[in-house]
Structure 1
């Protein structure tokens, strides 16, 4: 499997992706907002885009659908319940559906509500597993729930689906927010030395050559996985004095998400 991460350079800091079968050159475009860059990269490499997949319905993820499909004749895939919010879906996906790209690539759809209620993430059936997480999971952060989502559902997605992924899973999110998210981690967990070291490593990184983290790293530096950390809980209590002495992971997650909204 070939993964081409495309930095859009826009104000929203979107990443677009091409997933390619190396044997046939067939490609799937994920959230190809910058249709010009996606089409140009495919042309440069000699790849044929045969499928477009939207992780969710927001315009900064669906905005390039029409142009890519017009240029390639690709089929459009999205969450099965997004048919009223994403026009022209050819295949509605539910949890466990497998998407094939060319002869060699298989990708499994995960139903991951929270950012929106019609959000999917994608995990690959490859020796080196990868997760394409849209706006659910970011490097060192979690998606917001402002426009059609719910933090309770986001917690369930993190706890039951993301936290159990293998540590060597590579993470490919929908936006580049790593530096800001690491600063939030350190604000919430000042003694997280791994987050401090990583921030120093990436503070001047070129988004065109962005660091690809693993789920193992995320569990070290992403506050939204560190729900039992005593440092996180004690810092949280400064903002929420009524927090129980031994809060549940759910309670910690929801308070962190609330703080991140205005941080």
Structure 2
């Protein structure tokens, strides 16, 4: 499996992805908003884009579909419940489905509601798994739930699916928000030395050569995985005095997401 991360350099700080089979040159385009960059990258590599995968229905992830289909004839894949939200969808996906690219690439579909209720992530069947996670999981952060999502569903996705992935899983998000997310981590957990060290390392980094984390790293620096941290809970109770002294993890997650909305 060959992964090419494409930095769009747009106002939304999107990442697009091409995943290619090394034997056949067939490629899958994930959320190819910047269709020109995606098509050029495929041409430069000698790849043929045969499929498009939209992680969810928002326009900053589907906006390049028509242009890529027009140039390549690629089939559009997305959550099966997004058929009325994504034009010309050719295949609806559910949990456990496998997306194949060429002869060598297999990507397992995870049904990951929260950011929207029609969101999928893809987990690669490789020795070191990779997760293409759209707007569900970001480096040091979690997706918002403003436009068709729900924070309690997002918590369940984190708790019941993402947290159970192998620690070595590579994280490929849909946007570059890592610096701001690390600053939020440190606002909530000022004693998090790992987050401080990573922010010092990445501050001012060019996203065209983006840092790729793992689930193991995320569990150290991502507030939304650190729901039992005494510091996080104590500071959360300062912001929400009605919270119990020992809140459950769901309540911590939901309140953290609420704070992040206006931070």
Q: TM-score range by the shorter chain?
A: over 0.9
Matches within 5 A, 1:159-238: 159-238=159-238
CA shift for structure 1 position 243: 1.1
Q: Name 2:87's counterpart in structure 1.
A: 87
The number of residue pairs the alignment matches comes to 263
Query: Match for residue 25 of structure 2?
Result: 25
What is the 5 A alignment of 1:57-76? Answer: 57-76=57-76
Match of 2:244 in 1: 244
What does the per-residue CA deviation read over 1:45-101, in whole Å, with 9 as the maximum and x for residues that have no partner? 100000000000000000000000110011110000000100111100000000100
TM-score (norm 2): 1.00
Aligned to 2:4: 4
Inter-partner Cα distance in structure 1 for 2:251 and 2:170: 28
In the TM superposition, what is the alpha-carbon distance from 1:215 to its structure 2 partner? Answer: 0.4
Task: Give the structure 2 partner of residue 119 of structure 1.
Answer: 119
Residue-by-residue CA offset, 1:13-70 (whole Å, 9 max, x unaligned)? 0000000001111000000000000000000010000000000000000000000011
Separation in 2, partners of 1:249, 1:124: 28
> Structure 2: how far apart are the matches of 1:86 and 1:73?
16
**Mapped partners of 2:186, 2:165: distance in 1:** 24
After superposition, the CA RMSD in angstroms is 0.4
1:257 match: 257
Cα deviation for residue 254 of structure 1 reads: 0.5
Structure 2: tracts of 5 or more residues without a match: none
Q: Deviations over 1:160-204 (max 9, x none)?
A: 000111110000000000000000000000000000000000002
The separation in 1 between residues aligned to 2:79 and 2:226, in whole angstroms, is 29
- Give the alignment's TM-score, normalised by structure 1: 1.00
Q: Measure the CA separation in 2 of the matches of 1:253 and 1:10.
A: 29
SS in 1 for 2:161: helix
Runs of 4+ more than 4 Å apart:
none
